[in-house]
């Protein structure tokens, strides 16, 4: 920790040039802090003369969105660096390339994805991404299946589990996703019109809380695969051709469903948001249909690709027993619907919100949409055993349109 100091726009050029040989001597620098996340500093260092740039991401010893009274282990920077390198290899470049990791400063210096946009903002602008479902399912299937006991030598896998133990970041998820939204108080944050609704629909629904408790303990105890741990649409960079997943600092060994469900939930919330924000007409229909198609494809392609890859890479003898792979993948899909519901709920009543819902300008529509988001999320959790195909997702989401 002795050599750790917080970077600023003024200090970052000198820092980068001490660490890597990337910029030429005649470089004309422009630096800006571009981090819009909750936890870290992110700088873009650009040489405007030669049009070259890089990103420097530094872990802060506290939660940025909450201030320095919420301390956080900066060791997550090392985890992020390690998993980015691993995911880069496993997925053939579906994450940014890391140039250097500096342990003392907890800084990752990486590829600048300047010609990409964060998917949440792209979707809010009604962009559609034709290759996204195909590419993100490649990412999910490869990072998840190839790090699991289905494929890995079991002692090596257990060492990996140890290497990626990430207690503080896991605790954030355990509390903010699986606990506080189903209780009163904590760091919950909701609009006034949700206060009574939250109590009635979430805190006082024992059947729901029992299902959430099961999902929480699956998250904590099922060291199935190396997760990204935070695959919402704010952690995905896209353009018309490519997809890159960023920000895996929540990585740890957990249930595959957690990554897939987080993604699906954010597509569903964009669906509800689009329905609320746009006037009826072709632009709205086009975007809603794209989102439904994408959700369906993510589920179905994940299933098809995992089952196919399974036969090529499986090493465990018992995992080859006929019927096992179908049981295993089905179980992942069932829990995916459960995670989808939990992620949707926490984004409405919990600590961290999404622009898709908070940004609905009309008060009455925003209220109706947030309430519907909670009701739909409950369906996902309670009926998850029956929501197992892309078609099931499409039907349920379509039925829950309110505008």
Site for ligand ADP in 118-147 (CB under 6 A): 118
> Where does 20-105 have alpha helices with state H?
76-91
> Where does 125-255 have alpha helices with state H?
132-145, 154-163, 167-176, 195-198, 206-221
Sign of CA dihedral 115, 120, 123, 125: negative
User: Is 37 an interacting residue with respect to ligand ADP (CB under 6 A)?
Assistant: yes
What is d(CA 177, CA 170) in angstroms, rounded to the nearest whole number? 10
User: Is 288 an interacting residue with respect to ligand ADP (CB under 6 A)?
Assistant: no
139 φ/ψ angles, rounded to the nearest 5 degrees: -60, -50
Among 4, 22, 37, 403, binds Mg ion (CB under 5 A): 37
Edge-to-edge, what's the strand order for the sheet holding 243-245? 117-118, 236-238, 243-245
Shorter beta-carbon distance to ligand ADP: residue 57 or 347: 57
Site size toward Mg ion, by CB under 5 A: 3
Among 42, 133, 152, 172, binds ligand ADP (CB under 6 A): 42
- State which residue has the least CB distance to Mg ion: 247
Residue 319 touches which member of ligand ADP, Mg ion, none, C-beta under 5-8 Å by kind:
none
What is d(CA 122, CA 130) in angstroms, rounded to the nearest whole number? 13
Among 39, 105, 226, 292, binds ligand ADP (CB under 6 A): 39
Among 7, 113, 172, 396, binds ligand ADP (CB under 6 A): 113
Q: How far is the CB of 246 from ligand ADP (least distance, A)?
A: 5
What is d(CA 335, CA 1) in angstroms, rounded to the nearest whole number? 40
What is d(CA 346, CA 189) in angstroms, rounded to the nearest whole number? 9
Site size toward ligand ADP, by CB under 6 A: 20
Among 16, 40, 216, 384, binds ligand ADP (CB under 6 A): 40
Q: Which helix (H) or strand (E) holds 252?
A: strand 252-254
What is d(CA 106, CA 95) in angstroms, rounded to the nearest whole number? 19
Shorter beta-carbon distance to ligand ADP: residue 116 or 219: 116
CB 250 within 8 A of CB 234: no
- Residue 326, SS3 per DSSP: helix
Residue 111 touches which member of Mg ion, ligand ADP, none, C-beta under 5-8 Å by kind:
ligand ADP
User: Is 35 an interacting residue with respect to Mg ion (CB under 5 A)?
Assistant: no
What is d(CA 331, CA 329) in angstroms, rounded to the nearest whole number? 5
User: Is 84 an interacting residue with respect to ligand ADP (CB under 6 A)?
Assistant: no
- State which residue has the least CB distance to ligand ADP: 37
Most distant CA pair in the chain, distance: 66
Shorter beta-carbon distance to ligand ADP: residue 84 or 394: 84
Among 9, 112, 149, 163, binds ligand ADP (CB under 6 A): 112
Could you give the string, one character per residue 211-250, with x where binding to Mg ion holds by CB under 5 A and - elsewhere? ------------------------------------x---
Residues at the site binding Mg ion, with contacts judged by CB under 5 A: 37, 39, 247
Residues at the site binding ligand ADP, with contacts judged by CB under 6 A: 34-40, 42, 55, 57, 96, 110-113, 118, 235, 246-247, 249
């Amino acid at each position: 920790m002795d050599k750790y100091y917080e970077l600023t726009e003024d200090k970052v050029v000198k820092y980068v040039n001490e660490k890597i040989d990337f910029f030429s001597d005649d470089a004309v620098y422009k630096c800006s802090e571009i981090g819009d996340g909750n936890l870290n500093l992110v700088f873009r260092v650009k040489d405007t003369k030669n049009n070259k740039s890089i990103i420097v991401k530094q872990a802060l010893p506290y939660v940025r969105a909450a201030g320095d009274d919420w301390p956080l282990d900066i060791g997550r920077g090392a985890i992020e660096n390690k998993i980015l390198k691993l995911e880069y290899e496993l997925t053939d470049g579906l994450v940014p390339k890391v140039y250097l990791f500096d342990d003392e400063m907890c800084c990752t210096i990486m590829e600048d994805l300047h010609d990409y946009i964060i998917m949440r903002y792209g979707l809010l602008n009604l962009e559609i991404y034709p290759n996204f479902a195909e590419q993100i399912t490649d990412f999910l299937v490869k990072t998840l299946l190839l790090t699991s006991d289905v494929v890995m030598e079991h002692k090596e896998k257990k060492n990996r589990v140890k290497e990626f133990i990430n207690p503080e970041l896991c605790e954030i998820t355990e509390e903010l996703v699986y606990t506080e939204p189903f209780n009163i108080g904590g760091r919950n944050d909701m609009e006034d019109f949700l206060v009574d609704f939250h109590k009635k629909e979430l805190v006082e629904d024992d059947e729901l809380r029992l299902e959430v408790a099961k999902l929480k303990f699956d998250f904590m105890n099922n060291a199935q695969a190396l997760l990204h741990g935070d695959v919402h649409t704010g952690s995905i960079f896209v353009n018309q051709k490519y997809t890159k997943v960023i920000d895996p600092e929540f990585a740890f060994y957990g249930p595959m469903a957690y990554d897939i469900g987080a993604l699906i939930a954010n597509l569903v919330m964009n669906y509800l948001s689009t329905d609320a924000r746009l006037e009826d007409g072709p632009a709205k229909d086009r975007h809603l249909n794209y989102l439904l198609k994408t959700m369906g494809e993510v589920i179905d392609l994940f299933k098809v690709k995992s089952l196919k890859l399974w036969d090529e890479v499986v090493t465990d003898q018992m995992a080859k027993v006929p019927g096992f792979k179908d049981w295993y993948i089905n179980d992942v899909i069932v829990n995916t619907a459960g995670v989808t519901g939990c992620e949707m709920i926490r984004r409405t009543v919990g600590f961290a919100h999404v622009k898709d819902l908070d940004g609905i300008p009309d008060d009455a529509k925003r209220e109706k949409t947030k309430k519907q988001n909670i009701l739909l999320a409950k369906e996902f959790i309670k009926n998850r055993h029956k929501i197992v195909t892309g078609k099931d997702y499409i039907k349920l989401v379509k039925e829950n349109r309110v505008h």
